[in-house]
């Protein structure tokens, strides 16, 4: 039976019509173009329906296929069954702890907390230790396990970025291969974070609780501001770049004392490189590029580019030929695939490359 | 397995038994629509994605307990809406004045639209006015009816109102829109 289109509502409630108007699928365009030809008397109604759809749909914000897939991967990773079943089988725990544990897991089921987080409050931890001291059959590994369970951890793999909403309303964009963790009570009792890798922070203001990030040897303190910390352990340099507000950055020496404090104004960065800790200026626009999905190189040493690409695309790159390591790369890529990026770099740096799954081979031409 | 051929009840049965592929199918079917719907509440796309993630994960966690006989979509979209509004209100406390300006079912979309289609739609003041005269509730009801394709009963439940008054609300809103459109002969250069 052929569908009748008499009034605006008939058009509105037809999904193929809506898709056509919003240019979502090209498949049906022929159908509707023909329909218009054979129903000239209905064109007026059709155009009205079209306008209404635009008006109601408004901004054409859509989730791209790729973004949808990434979102699913993030969800899929959390669909594992919780681990509490295993651990309570393996270890004998007295009943009071068990009941607290189950309440604790219930707490985790609140939507705003991720299943991937594993946390036990300090209180439980101390019970754990008392128990451990009195019972020899707990192995070291189990002690470590319970220590690790304190932290709420957000982890990104190579080729992955994650947006994190912290309980205090602050936002974090965690770059690839990085870890951000904090103890329970964040936003209530404290705002202390630990970071490995790189992250962009937008801090909600809270005059009572300072926002503190510990990253390798640097400690950054802020009160409502945005900044970028870059502290990959594979890098020689660690950096804190301030975009707005005011932060202090302290260098923590090996003995644990804070040796030196730098106060930053917007546009300034604190850099630790081979025990040299100093303040300088940076280009704000370039610094923010990775948060917008843009790869940016400016006179960047080739080997550093390789490292960035490995992290960004989640691949392993092997380079043969020593000449390449001397060259430098300048360029910008927005949401390009790896092949296109390599192709355009290869023109200026003249190399051949071969991509095979997650492995990339680069060789001098 | 071709999930498209199954009813919601059958798919839900698979999911509640732990079928992740079925769950993935449900996600892929609805995610874009949910995202668009979320954009009507906030510009913060990261937040929308975050809430979508939480909604799906928490449904998975309670899959043995939850009973869905009719519409998985309806269950999910109400959960999504509830959580999104909760999170927006929670964040608002900390947000800058700029972010506070938009309310639920914001009008910014219309402004964006005007800019976007300025060349093709001769939208004049009267129509813009008619649009802004609609309440957020009216806009949302129309959206849920024609874009998300919920039934009147489902929309009524989502917006917490009675079916007859919802029916009335939508009728009135549509009438107002059509009228202003007729008046302004919007048909110029639509193509």
**What is the average per-residue pLDDT within A175-203?**
87
DSSP string, A215-247: ETTEEEEESS-EEEEEE-TTSSEEEEEEEES-E
Backbone angles phi, psi at A208, to 5 degrees: -85, -40
Interface of B with A in 92-131 (CB under 8 A): 93-95, 108-110, 112-113, 116-117, 121, 123, 127, 131
Least confident of A48-57, A79-88, A306-315, B6-15: A79-88
Does the beta carbon of B31 lie under 8 angstroms from any beta carbon of chain A?
yes
Sequence-separated (6 or more) residues with CB below 8 Å from residue A90? A142
- Whether residue A84 has pLDDT greater than 70: no
User: pLDDT higher for A222 or B123?
Assistant: A222
Query: What would the pLDDT profile of A20-51 be if each residue is shown by its tens digit?
Result: 777 655 555 677 878 888 888 888 788 778 77
User: φ and ψ at A95, to 5 degrees?
Assistant: -60, -35
Which residues, 6 or more positions from A243, have their beta carbon under 8 angstroms from its beta carbon? Answer: A225, A226, A227, A228, A266, A267, A284, A287, A288
Cβ–Cβ gap B146/A205 under 8 Å: no
Q: What is the pLDDT of residue A254?
A: 62
* Confidence (pLDDT) at A136: 36
Domains in chain B (CATH in brackets) are 3-100 (1.10.1740.10), 108-184 (1.10.10.10)
Looking at A77-91, A158-172, A242-256, B15-29, which range is the least confident one? A77-91
Residue B114: per-residue pLDDT: 47
Q: Which residues on chain B are in Cβ contact (under 8 Å) with A12?
A: 146
Name the band, by pLDDT with cuts 50, 70 and 90, for residue B35: very high
State pLDDT tens for residues B22-33.
999 999 999 988
pLDDT beyond 70 at B113: no
Complex ipTM above 0.85?
no
Q: In A, residues 101-130, which contact B (CB 8 Å cutoff)? A: 109-112, 114-115
Of B51, B55, B121, the CB nearest to A51: B121
**Using one digit for the tens of pLDDT, what is the confidence trace for A254-303?**
665 656 788 888 888 888 887 788 888 888 888 888 887 888 898 888 88
- Determine the straight-line distance between the first and last CA of chain A, rounded to whole angstroms: 64
| Yes or no, beta carbons of B178 and A8 under 8 Å apart | yes
A88-117, pLDDT tens digit by residue?
A: 222 222 223 333 333 333 333 333 332 222
User: Distance between CA atoms of B181 and A48, rounded to whole angstroms?
Assistant: 7
pLDDT at B74: 92
Partners of B93 on chain A (C-beta within 8 Å) are 169
Place of tokens 């023109």: A347
User: A74-83, A127-136, A280-289: which has the highest mean pLDDT?
Assistant: A280-289
User: Does pLDDT of B5 surpass 80?
Assistant: yes
CA distance B53 to chain A (A): 6
Q: How far, in Å, CA of A287 to CA of B107, rounded?
A: 33
Paired strand residues for A226:
A202, A244
Set out the domains of chain A in order of their start, with CATH numbers.
8-57 (no CATH), 77-150 (no CATH), 155-286 (2.60.120.1440), 293-364 (3.55.50.30)
What token pair was written down for A71? 């979102």
Q: Is the pLDDT of residue B76 over 90?
A: yes
Predicted confidence (pLDDT) at residue A246 exceeds the cutoff of 80: no
What pLDDT does residue A124 have? Answer: 27
Please judge whether B87 and A72 are an interchain contact, meaning their C-beta atoms are less than 8 angstroms apart. no
Enumerate residues 57 to 76 of chain A having a beta carbon within 8 A of any beta carbon in chain B: 57-63, 67-68, 71-72, 74-76
Per-residue exposure over A281-320, b if at least 16 CB sit within 10 Å of its own CB, e if not: ebeeeebbbbbeeebbbeebebeebbbbbbbbbebebebe
Point out which residues pair with A250 in neighbouring strands.
A219, A261
Strand partners, A227: A201, A242
Q: What is the CA angle A239-A245-A250, rounded to 5?
A: 40
CA-nearest residue to A207 within chain B is B94
pLDDT at A146 over 50: no
Q: Is A54 in contact with B147 (Cβ distance < 8 A)?
A: no
Beta strand segments in chain A, E: 152-155, 162-165, 171-174, 179-182, 192-202, 211-215, 218-222, 226-231, 237-244, 247-252, 258-264, 268-273, 276-281, 294-301, 316-320, 328-334, 351-356, 359-364
| Å between A48 CA and nearest CA of chain B | 7
Does B137 score more than 70 pLDDT? yes
Q: How confident is the model at residue B91 (pLDDT cuts 50, 70, 90)?
A: low
Say if residue A170 is exposed, middle or buried (CB neighbours under 10 Å; 0-12, 13-18, 19+). buried
Residue pair B79/B85 in contact by the 8 Å Cβ criterion: no
Residues 25-54 of A with CB under 8 A from B: 44, 47-48, 50-52, 54
- Vertex A241: Cα angle to A263 and B42 (nearest 5): 115
Structure confidence at residue A141 (pLDDT): 43
Output the pLDDT for position B139: 81
Residue A79 touches chain B, beta carbons under 8 Å = yes
C-alpha distance from residue A220 to each of A121, A322, B49, B90 (Å) = 24, 38, 29, 26
Chain B CB within 8 Å of residue A207 CB: no
């Amino acid at each position: 039976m052929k569908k009748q289109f008499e009034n605006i509502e008939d058009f509105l409630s037809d999904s193929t019509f809506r898709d056509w108007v919003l240019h979502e699928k090209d498949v049906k365009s022929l159908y509707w173009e023909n329909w218009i030809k054979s129903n000239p008397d209905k064109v007026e109604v059709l155009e009205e329906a079209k306008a209404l759809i635009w008006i109601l749909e408004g901004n054409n914000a859509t989730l791209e296929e790729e973004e949808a897939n990434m979102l699913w991967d993030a969800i899929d990773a959390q669909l594992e069954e919780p681990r509490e079943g295993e651990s309570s089988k393996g270890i004998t725990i007295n009943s009071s702890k068990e009941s607290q544990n189950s309440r604790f897991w219930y707490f985790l089921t609140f939507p705003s907390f991720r299943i991937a987080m594993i946390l036990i409050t300090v209180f439980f931890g101390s019970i754990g230790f008392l128990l451990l001291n009195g019972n020899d059959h707990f192995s070291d590994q189990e002690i470590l396990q319970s220590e690790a369970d304190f932290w709420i951890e957000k982890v990104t793999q190579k080729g992955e970025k994650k947006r994190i909403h912290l309980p205090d309303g602050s936002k974090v964009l965690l770059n690839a291969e990085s870890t951000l963790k904090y103890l329970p009570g964040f936003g209530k009792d404290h705002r202390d974070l630990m970071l490995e890798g790189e992250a962009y922070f937008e801090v909600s203001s809270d005059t009572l609780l300072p926002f503190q990030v510990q990253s390798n040897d640097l400690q950054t303190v802020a009160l409502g501001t945005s900044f970028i910390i870059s502290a990959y352990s594979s890098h020689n340099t660690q950096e804190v770049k301030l975009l707005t507000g005011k932060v202090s950055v302290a260098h923590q020496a090996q003995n644990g004392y804070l040796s030196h404090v730098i106060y930053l104004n917007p546009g300034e960065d604190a850099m630790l490189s081979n025990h040299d800790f100093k303040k300088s200026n940076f280009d704000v626009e370039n610094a923010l590029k990775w948060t917008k999905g843009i790869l940016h190189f400016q006179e960047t040493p080739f080997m550093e580019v390789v490292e960035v690409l490995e992290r960004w695309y989640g691949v392993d790159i092997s380079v043969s030929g020593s000449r390449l390591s001397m060259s430098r790369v300048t360029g910008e890529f927005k949401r390009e695939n790896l092949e296109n990026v390599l192709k355009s770099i290869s023109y200026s740096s003249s190399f051949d490359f071969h991509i095979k799954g997650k492995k990339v081979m680069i060789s001098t031409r | 397995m071709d999930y498209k051929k199954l009813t919601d009840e059958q798919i839900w049965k698979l999911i509640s038994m732990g079928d992740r592929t079925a769950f993935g199918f449900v996600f892929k079917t609805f995610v874009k629509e949910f995202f668009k719907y979320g954009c009507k509440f906030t510009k913060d796309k990261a937040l929308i994605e975050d809430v979508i993630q939480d909604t799906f994960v928490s449904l998975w966690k309670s899959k043995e307990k939850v009973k869905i006989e009719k519409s998985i979509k309806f269950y999910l979209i109400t959960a999504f809406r509830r959580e999104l509004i909760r999170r927006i209100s929670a964040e608002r406390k900390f947000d800058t004045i700029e972010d506070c300006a938009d309310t639920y079912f914001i009008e910014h979309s219309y402004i964006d639209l005007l800019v976007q289609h300025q060349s093709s739609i001769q939208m004049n003041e009267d129509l813009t006015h008619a649009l802004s005269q609609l309440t957020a509730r009216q806009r949302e009801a129309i959206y849920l009816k024609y874009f998300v394709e919920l039934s009147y009963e489902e929309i009524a439940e989502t917006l917490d109102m009675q079916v007859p008054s919802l029916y009335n609300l939508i009728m009135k809103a549509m009438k107002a829109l059509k009228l202003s459109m007729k008046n302004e002969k919007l048909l110029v250069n639509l193509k």
